[in-house]
Amino acid sequence: MDFAYLAAGFGAGLTVIGGAFGIGKLASSAMEASGRQPEAAGDIRTSMIIAAALIEGISLFALVICILLALK
């Protein structure tokens, strides 16, 4: 039985859960901080985008492994 596709699907789904949870938490604290101090909104937005790109980098590592699994 060929479980590679199933494993790839599960892996991608779990990765998305982790990534979305992390970025969601990040975005919520960024919004809260912007609400408390609107002058710092620009700096907060820049830091938020950087952190989001790094978290997304991690979930894309897992995505690459899932693609390798699905295609081999």
Applying CB under 8 A, the site for other proteins has a residue count of 15
**Greatest C-alpha distance within the chain:** 59
Phi, psi of 3 (to 5 degrees): -100, 5
Short-list 49, 62, 41, CA closest to 23 = 49
37 SS3 class: coil
If one asks whether residue 17 binds other proteins (CB under 8 A), the answer comes out as: no
Cβ proximity to other proteins: between 36 and 61 the closer is: 61
If one asks whether residue 20 binds other proteins (CB under 8 A), the answer comes out as: no
If one asks whether residue 53 binds other proteins (CB under 8 A), the answer comes out as: yes
Could you tell me which stretch among 1-9, 19-27, 32-40, 51-59 binds other proteins (CB under 8 A)? Answer: 51-59
